[in-house]
Structure 1
């Protein structure tokens, strides 16, 4: 242990006190021994250090900070250097605000387009997500502070996220849901990992020995700190044993006493606590820095400019019929859409940033050189229909040569804690688009959203630019792309299906009660669409440019693949070349192709460059569930270089010697997986893949409710008061949505309806403890008066003990 002498000088109580927070964002300090506290802050795309009373959901304002593009946006740049630069800038702002740990990046896989936090995650592909995350982490940590990669692991939905049991087979777990984390740990050298709320195959992730010990610590060699998501602790002693050092936020010493009691009762050895303390101390001392010398003044203008540059390289051109873009500055342009006035530039929830400044399209039209003849909002951004507003937009559109239409998803549709109900943009926007097309067919749409949307309306636009959530400088970045000052080079980091029903997890998302089954296995995103032959709107890796690129002269050997790219157009541009590999063998089921490398190349007109993408340790491997390790299958492999997953420009074949492991499957028992058509797998076939029985997915409505049951389950509680409370919550949610208070309605669902009872103690900073919660559960389970007496007695006892 690094800090053996210091730990030996600490009392048992002092050691235990370090294992949970001092308050909502700070860790405990021990002044007697010179151990400072740490400050942790949200920061996947910008600092969120709150100035007012602390909370986890972004309700209170934070100190001004640069709002950079979100992870879903930056992933479209496919530029790891840019990711590292963004991390460096974020780290500087963290240091200036005396933050030790920046809680990001988020790298959960985009299993389903409706997952409410997709805007905060990079991709549906683990290789791309891992590489982007590793670069981001290196940038943050270059400032002497820590990044915290999250949420570990398989946190694929927001509904019931604090208790949902994720059922996934071992191979899928390793190849799809853990690979990005592996890259973040091994290549990014992340100092902290945040555990997820959910269970994994029956065990909470921060108590999961296989996940936390076998894989994270032993296999990957992670020697940093694991911190819980806020309120994400179930059994503190079990979590400590698996190496979960830090529980956040504070429990006012309640879980510290659990640790002390377990040691005194000899349930665990004190050395387990010592090892956890040692790792936490290393994080504290290595991120403390010299606060006197910290760079307090940040050049926010320079940071704003960098946010603009990152956005410019992340914007994706999806359609450009008749070369309507770049815009002709001589043409009369009607600017329509509420998002042109008030941009949609970030997500909602714990990652909300208070920007240092915010660009607006309307304020920048003159600077961009556009001949704007006026602006009309056209629609209500939160979906209410207003015929008068639409009529004014149509009147303006008739006078213009071209309509610049800003559309997308609003702030309360994409939010932490909630999943979307569909893949559509609001109907009032779609109706406006159809009406505009009748009076002026020259429409360029600018789309703002952090996740995939359906586009049945796409035939009504000639140009489509997707800005995603492009941060505080996004409006100017988009205008520079529209006018041709910037040649778009972004490519999609996720697939856009034609219809939601086409998605591989359609039948098993979200898990509504006890569990969510990942029956599609490996076949998420393009791995499914390309293998099963399902047509999509836009494939993974797709993006247009104002120039064209030619790929030639492929050469493949055991080290990698070399080829030439030429800019065959008339303007400079950047191209993202993508390496896909697919096995020709049919002995082990695999997707048709998988991303195994990429590079971004800048080329002047008529310029050619020779490019090499090397093979790494992930190029040919698969996880063998019988040998319980990574293996390589001896086979011929298709080596594909593409401009997207479906636009393959060059191919080669390479024979690879294998490790000799026997195939782990009986082919005839897994027909869906061997065909790749894994969108509707039977429970019997999934159990064969899983190697175990699938647990019951429905609530047991006859049992008494306990700590890990949710407020939603009060609908069948034995206590009349609990059932009334559930109906009141349900009515409040309905009523608030009815009167247009969707953000407040969302908050009820997120922080009340789906909250487990233990959250009352874990998320209230010590206002309620677990003995008081026992009384609440008595009330819920039909013992009203006994429960009330118990709550009052335990509260008096808690206050007295303090």
Structure 2
């Protein structure tokens, strides 16, 4: 232990010794939704946490407090670049410090077990090694800026259906080789200051009480010395949680800790030493982030400032995966371009749920290409709208929130840029207290872009009154058919009004919500609802016909297709992999009209592409963050090469080997064992649309030779194209006799090389010992498997260019 760490530990022990039982147990329970209480008697300031992973939202869920929005985690993993992940983390630490945040609730290092996982976009990959490498880079980057991380969700939180109660049945071997592996890699290589335990149970024990996985493996075997925080509302048992290794139960102030934990100690049901261990972990975190008096923070020399917009743009273009490029359709040739798709105008840049942040600007594909292409060469048509539901009231609305007390007296107001209210106690407008607040009115004007029938609706649970242009359309209580506490964020808006409106003529809108008053103070501290809107719906066939005519008249057609919040979001899983709405019909029709059709796929996770062989090019943009359109223009025009490689397999749902995400009788068996992702595709002998690791560039590479001594592999390759490029060199390990219970091959290492036209490059990578090991369930230990292995090097799991045999 370094001297600085010893000094911090001494301060922690001294502070712990000065706390009584009540103060200690209070520290382990959130004082509100996002923070832990200050304890002035020991010089401890309040410690603040915030959601990530693509930005730092802070403690306020509002577009009035903007954040940099980086591309989705799947996009970051598609760069296969640990250094870029480190820079992303460094920027987010900078954002956290700007917002007074000490701990970022990220990264998500669960695996892409099934393509139907609703939160797929928020995790990195189907491969545990790639996930661990990118996650470690991210954690090291954040913590280099003096801000803590919480790698999550520990463990096997790989789907959303019944996520609060599901019991995942995972073999010890699959846990070790797949689901625990990225956490272990990150603990060993990045030393995270926090871990977040999941809602689900594993093997019958909920993760917030899992003594074996938390105390024996995470802390004991791996040596993790950070704090363990519950996912929000996940902790259910005072005794079970504290004995299972949970340090902090969030959110507060009413949790299974606090007064309940103090009482359990006084009654002899819980040993105070267990409380001391948890408090020690929290104080250690506080010392590291600089909120414990007398302890020097872990980072005193902060990294240089990073331009967030520039980095968001760089990550996006480096993440774009060129899946197909026939007839050299990309980069775009000089000529006219027909840009088509609703998502080209209203870009979807991030996934739904707790990963939501509010950037100060969003560059749409239409914005980016308008700036990049010569004037008069770009046209636009909607073509098809993927969304069939209302969206929160943002564009063309000017709204404020007016807060009133029981007498109807105004006690506070604030601007609401996006029609969404999500307030806890710390987020209320100035002058407003939860004790006095009785109604919130979202009020203002809406100026229609189009003449016709406009639909308005409500998102949330409770009593509402909705009025448009002086007419009350709804005055009732809106209920939902489930009890997910986050339904006000994740559920679809319910249509409640239709009004005939005229282009350019403003109308008054009003949505009044009656705040529920509860004797439980904690229940009154989370207020979530929204006003939603949808413009007049045009005939889908007419929209497609207009797009076809635009495509036929242009030299190149660029179609942007996308998923929606109802397809990819926290809170639910997917039921299919189809693009929503008539988007597939649109692409078929445009491709028939213009052979130079380029399709941009704007999704965070796999979708089926039934038209992929009909179009000239397919470019995957993921959820590309706030600089989406600028990065897209960089790549389409050829100013930059698309740098991404698939971090997960893309294929049809009917061919996907692992699709079960719905529990039966409360249980979800991981019956596939260690065979997920490309491991399962190869075992089943199935051919995906695009394999793991696939991605094209704007130049060509020749793989010339590979040598290996069993501990390292050295690859020589040459850029044989006409422009500079970057290549991801992938190294796979294949045992001579894998047997029925071992994959045919797996990713062992990778490296990025760059070279100009005609130049050669060399990549030397280490082959970790773990790549040669399996978990032996009989001995409950790692077992090194010797024998003959092929080192296979190439551009994807199926495009392996070189091989050499080693015997170990």
- Normalised by the length of structure 1, the TM-score is 0.78
| Farther off after superposition, 234-243 or 638-647 | 234-243
Rate the CA distance shift 1:522–1:343 in 2: closer, same or farther, 3 A. Answer: same
Rate the CA distance shift 1:4–1:477 in 2: closer, same or farther, 3 A. Answer: same
Report the counterpart of residue 194 of structure 2 in structure 1.
Answer: 192
Any idea what the Cα deviations from partners look like across 1:8-37, whole Å, max 9, x if unmatched? 221111111111100000112212332211
Any idea what the Cα deviations from partners look like across 1:422-459, whole Å, max 9, x if unmatched? 00002411111222233223210111000101111212
Report the counterpart of residue 375 of structure 1 in structure 2.
Answer: 380
Report the counterpart of residue 648 of structure 2 in structure 1.
Answer: 494
| Structure 1 residue 324 corresponds to structure 2 residue 332 | no
The 8 Å contact of residues 384 and 581 in structure 2, kept in 1 or not, is answered as no
2:313 alignment partner, one of 290, 308, 316: 308
Rate the CA distance shift 1:595–1:307 in 2: closer, same or farther, 3 A. Answer: same
- In 2: Cα distance, 1:50 partner to 1:21 partner: 13
The 8 Å contact of residues 662 and 668 in structure 2, kept in 1 or not, is answered as yes
Report the counterpart of residue 616 of structure 1 in structure 2.
Answer: 768
Rate the CA distance shift 1:588–1:402 in 2: closer, same or farther, 3 A. Answer: closer
| Structure 1 residue 556 corresponds to structure 2 residue 708 | yes
Which residues in structure 2 correspond to 1:320-399 (within 5 Å)? 320-329=325-334, 331-370=335-374, 372-383=377-388, 386-399=540-553
Looking at secondary structure, tell me which structure has more helix per residue. Answer: 1
Report the counterpart of residue 16 of structure 2 in structure 1.
Answer: 7
Rate the CA distance shift 1:617–1:299 in 2: closer, same or farther, 3 A. Answer: closer
State the SS of the aligned residue for 2:604. coil
- In 1: Cα distance, 2:341 partner to 2:67 partner: 27
Which residues in structure 2 correspond to 1:76-475 (within 5 Å)? 76-252=78-254, 255-288=257-290, 302-329=307-334, 331-370=335-374, 372-383=377-388, 386-475=540-629
Rate the CA distance shift 1:634–1:238 in 2: closer, same or farther, 3 A. Answer: same
Which one has more relative contact order, counting CA pairs under 8 Å at least 6 apart?
Answer: 2
- In 1: Cα distance, 2:739 partner to 2:134 partner: 32
The 8 Å contact of residues 730 and 747 in structure 2, kept in 1 or not, is answered as yes
- In 2: Cα distance, 1:4 partner to 1:74 partner: 39
2:737 alignment partner, one of 576, 581, 585: 585
1:504 alignment partner, one of 657, 663, 668: 657
The 8 Å contact of residues 505 and 519 in structure 1, kept in 2 or not, is answered as no
1:68 alignment partner, one of 67, 70, 78: 70
- In 2: Cα distance, 1:125 partner to 1:216 partner: 20
State the SS of the aligned residue for 1:214. helix
How far off is 1:631 after superposition? 1.0
Report the counterpart of residue 40 of structure 2 in structure 1.
Answer: 31
Rate the CA distance shift 1:280–1:289 in 2: closer, same or farther, 3 A. Answer: closer
- In 2: Cα distance, 1:465 partner to 1:562 partner: 31
Rate the CA distance shift 1:581–1:65 in 2: closer, same or farther, 3 A. Answer: same
State the SS of the aligned residue for 1:444. strand
Report the counterpart of residue 730 of structure 1 in structure 2.
Answer: none
Dislocated runs of 4+, deviation >6 Å:
290-295, 297-301
- In 2: Cα distance, 1:137 partner to 1:420 partner: 29
| Structure 1 residue 17 corresponds to structure 2 residue 19 | no
Report the counterpart of residue 739 of structure 1 in structure 2.
Answer: none
- In 2: Cα distance, 1:299 partner to 1:271 partner: 42
State the SS of the aligned residue for 2:753. strand
The 8 Å contact of residues 50 and 63 in structure 1, kept in 2 or not, is answered as no
- In 1: Cα distance, 2:168 partner to 2:97 partner: 37
How far off is 1:373 after superposition? 4.1
Report the counterpart of residue 705 of structure 1 in structure 2.
Answer: none
State the SS of the aligned residue for 1:496. coil
State the SS of the aligned residue for 1:64. coil
The 8 Å contact of residues 71 and 122 in structure 1, kept in 2 or not, is answered as yes
How far off is 1:475 after superposition? 1.2
Report the counterpart of residue 708 of structure 1 in structure 2.
Answer: none
The 8 Å contact of residues 39 and 99 in structure 1, kept in 2 or not, is answered as yes
- In 1: Cα distance, 2:211 partner to 2:711 partner: 36
| Farther off after superposition, 437-446 or 542-551 | 437-446
- In 1: Cα distance, 2:661 partner to 2:633 partner: 37
The 8 Å contact of residues 49 and 62 in structure 1, kept in 2 or not, is answered as no
How far off is 1:298 after superposition? 13
Show structure 2 runs of 5+ residues with no match: 1-8, 389-536
State the SS of the aligned residue for 2:592. helix
Rate the CA distance shift 1:7–1:300 in 2: closer, same or farther, 3 A. Answer: closer
Any idea what the Cα deviations from partners look like across 1:100-153, whole Å, max 9, x if unmatched? 100111010000111110110000000000000000000000111101111000
State the SS of the aligned residue for 1:539. coil
Report the counterpart of residue 520 of structure 1 in structure 2.
Answer: 672
| Farther off after superposition, 260-269 or 196-205 | 260-269
The 8 Å contact of residues 94 and 305 in structure 2, kept in 1 or not, is answered as no
The 8 Å contact of residues 159 and 512 in structure 1, kept in 2 or not, is answered as no
State the SS of the aligned residue for 1:501. coil
The 8 Å contact of residues 237 and 256 in structure 2, kept in 1 or not, is answered as no
The 8 Å contact of residues 236 and 256 in structure 2, kept in 1 or not, is answered as no
Report the counterpart of residue 801 of structure 2 in structure 1.
Answer: 649
- Normalised by the length of structure 2, the TM-score is 0.77
Q: How many residues align?
A: 645
- In 2: Cα distance, 1:615 partner to 1:373 partner: 49
How far off is 1:587 after superposition? 5.7
Rate the CA distance shift 1:145–1:203 in 2: closer, same or farther, 3 A. Answer: same
- In 1: Cα distance, 2:370 partner to 2:610 partner: 33
State the SS of the aligned residue for 2:568. coil
Rate the CA distance shift 1:626–1:588 in 2: closer, same or farther, 3 A. Answer: farther
2:56 alignment partner, one of 47, 55, 62: 47
- In 1: Cα distance, 2:153 partner to 2:362 partner: 29
State the SS of the aligned residue for 2:273. helix
Rate the CA distance shift 1:173–1:299 in 2: closer, same or farther, 3 A. Answer: closer
Show structure 1 runs of 5+ residues with no match: 53-59, 657-802
State the SS of the aligned residue for 1:619. helix
State the SS of the aligned residue for 1:489. coil
How far off is 1:275 after superposition? 1.1
- In 1: Cα distance, 2:769 partner to 2:249 partner: 34
Any idea what the Cα deviations from partners look like across 1:355-378, whole Å, max 9, x if unmatched? 022112222324322563411111
Any idea what the Cα deviations from partners look like across 1:551-600, whole Å, max 9, x if unmatched? 11211103211120110100110000111112223567210001011001
Any idea what the Cα deviations from partners look like across 1:237-283, whole Å, max 9, x if unmatched? 21111221111100436632332222222223211111111111111
How far off is 1:61 after superposition? 4.0
